[in-house]
Amino acid sequence: MPPRHILIVNARNVTQPVFVIGAPHSGAEHVGRALKISPGFHVTIGQQAVLQAVYGFARRPSLHSGRGEAAAAVMRDAFAQGWQVGPASCLECAPQCRSAAGLRQEEVGPCAELRGLSRYGDATPDLTYCAEALVAAFPDAMIIQVVRDGRDTVAAMLRDQVAMSWFRPSVVNIETEFPNPFYGVEYESDRLDFPALSSAGKCALRWRGAIRIAARLRRALPEDQLKTLRYEDMARDPGAAAAALSGFTGSTVAAPVTRVNRGKPEQNEWRRTLSYNQLADVEKVAGEELRRLGYK
């Protein structure tokens, strides 16, 4: 059995925290928003302390390798800080976290009430790329991983300035950190091919890396600790997704809301936005994973 650690936040013992992971634009944030408004949950999205730890370990996996307990302590401390609830605790929250709670940017006050609070969670972007450190920090964590058609995630990433900023030459660190799950670079051939890849190919590589992390988690964690949701199923039937999430967490969870639910179709967006060459680049990098997941 992995070691158990007592973490007290807001005078409550943190047990079975719920983390939502997935490739960029996979729909993980939609699940995080649903958990955030569900009774008894305090779910954060992009807290500054958490972001620093997440990108520290995601972009520099060598920080975790061989430093299991020290890295785990850093992760626990980051979440303990991010989960604090107080009069000024949400003033510096990320806009998406405040928005998920229904708060206007100018509002003052916490997004969660201590009364009735029993569960903690997080849906910070790119959390999936430090999953190993996350599970080491919280051995009893419950992981919800969201899987989406890689072509749609690539189409969304290409329009996201923040996502694309990670590919700037001054930011990419695959030469100093190898292998590098954050960029999906696992083998020497990946590292050599990376500079010549198109933007679509690099986005597909990040999606492929997240999918492979998800597969490793599936093999490593028992069923009662890991739940996989398909974005397409969640968009088609949010009520069924809510029921699945409620059954998995043991708490009542609200239905995830996606743009599809509001009459703005988001599925198969790649058909309208990706060029033939971009699709060819995605197929070259991630075709095997797309087919394995049933995305023809």
Which CATH code of 1.10.1740, 3.10.450, 1.10.10, 3.40.50 fits the domain covering 12-292? 3.40.50
Give the bridge partners for 18, in sequence order.
121, 142
Low-confidence ranges of the chain (pLDDT < 50): 1, 261-263, 265
Query: What pLDDT score was predicted for residue 88?
Result: 67
Query: What pLDDT score was predicted for residue 234?
Result: 95
Find out whether 253 and 245 touch, Cβ atoms under 8 Å: yes
Reduced to 3 states, what is the DSSP secondary structure of residue 255?
Answer: coil
Amino acid at 69: E
How far is CA 262 from each of CA 8, 37, 149, rounded to the nearest angstrom? 39, 18, 20
Domain ranges of the chain: 12-292
Find out whether 281 and 149 touch, Cβ atoms under 8 Å: no
Average pLDDT, the chain: 90
Reduced to 3 states, what is the DSSP secondary structure of residue 67?
Answer: coil
At 3-50, the pLDDT tens digits run 567 899 988 999 999 999 999 999 999 999 999 999 999 999 999 999
Which residues make Cβ contacts (< 8 Å) with residue 71, sequence separation at least 6? 57, 63, 64, 133, 136, 137
Q: What are 58's two structure tokens? A: 């995601």
Query: What pLDDT score was predicted for residue 261?
Result: 41
Q: What are 244's two structure tokens? A: 């699945």
Query: What pLDDT score was predicted for residue 63?
Result: 83
